[in-house]
């Protein structure tokens, strides 16, 4: 049996065992390399420069920097996909990262065209929504306790939506978009956490960590954006949490 595990270790479809369980040992080639770490650091530096440019209201530079920072986490994801042997789970996550990058770029374009702020905001949110759906498509087949994930997600989403209803004044369109988006991102995080609680391994753990950061970032963003007073420090915090979340999701692929 031990010899069979060793001989199958490099087969792409056998790599699913690394996601679904922890009985198969992780091969050395799937460890995060020094180059990947440097790429992540560069991405964080670019993201920091983007935050500073946004603070200084230099929106053209901010758009370019945001695009570069997003390209970095997509590149990390692609590298992780290649290191994983090109399994279908990793491919779906890369697609999700790409839609996240598109959402980043679209949302920042609205600052250059304030006349179309609402339309561009909805379009950018839609890109993130598609990314979350793809994340769910990748994660749900691995979820052995789907009912528990749905129940936990529904409870968390209900609390967030009640707070939104009490604290924020939104028009009907924003309210509808907010309800759908919040439910989706909460469910994405609850499935990720449930998967990790069910079976502990590096892939699920790093992914769940990233999903939680993504959720917290979005919740703060909603209340800060549509609240009475927009606080830049909270905006910066959401951007940092979000980037850590996406980078973590991308890095999880090295262990799947």
Residue ranges covered by each domain of the chain:
2-255
| Tens-digit pLDDT profile for residues 11-40 | 433 444 445 444 334 444 456 788 889 999
Q: Do 191 and 152 contact (CB within 8 A), yes or no?
A: no
What Rg do the C-alpha atoms of the chain give, in angstroms? Answer: 19
Chain-wide mean pLDDT for the chain? 87
| Tens-digit pLDDT profile for residues 90-139 | 999 999 999 999 999 999 999 899 889 889 989 999 999 999 999 999 99
Q: Do 199 and 20 contact (CB within 8 A), yes or no?
A: yes
Look-up: residue for tokens 């994801």?
77
| Tens-digit pLDDT profile for residues 63-87 | 999 999 999 999 999 999 999 888 9
Confidence check: pLDDT of 7 > 90: no
Pairwise CA distance, residues 65 & 142, whole Å? 35
Which pLDDT score is estimated for 12?
39
Single pTM value for the model: 0.86
């Amino acid at each position: 049996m031990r010899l069979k595990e060793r001989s199958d270790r490099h087969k792409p479809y056998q790599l699913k065992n690394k996601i679904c369980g922890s009985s198969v040992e992780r091969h050395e080639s799937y460890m995060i390399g020094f180059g990947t770490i440097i790429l992540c650091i560069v991405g964080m530096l670019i993201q920091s420069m983007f935050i500073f440019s946004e603070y200084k209201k230099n929106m053209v530079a901010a758009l370019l920097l945001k695009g570069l920072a997003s390209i970095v986490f997509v590149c990390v994801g692609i590298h992780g996909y290649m290191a994983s042997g090109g399994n279908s789970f990793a491919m779906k996550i890369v697609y999700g990262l790409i839609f996240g990058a598109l959402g980043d770029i679209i949302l920042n374009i609205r600052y250059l065209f304030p006349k179309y702020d609402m339309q561009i905001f909805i379009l950018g949110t839609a890109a993130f929504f598609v990314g979350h759906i793809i994340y769910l498509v990748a994660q749900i087949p691995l979820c052995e306790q789907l009912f528990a994930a749905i129940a936990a997600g529904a409870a968390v989403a209900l609390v967030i939506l009640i707070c939104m209803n009490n604290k924020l004044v939104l028009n009907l369109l924003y309210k509808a978009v907010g309800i759908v988006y919040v439910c989706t991102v909460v469910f994405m995080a609850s499935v990720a956490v449930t998967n990790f609680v069910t079976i502990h391994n590096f892939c699920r753990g790093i992914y769940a960590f990233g999903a939680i950061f993504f959720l917290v970032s979005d919740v703060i963003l909603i209340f800060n954006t549509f609240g009475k007073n927009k606080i830049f420090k909270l905006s910066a915090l959401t951007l940092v949490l979000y980037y850590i979340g996406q980078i973590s999701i991308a890095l999880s692929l090295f262990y799947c």
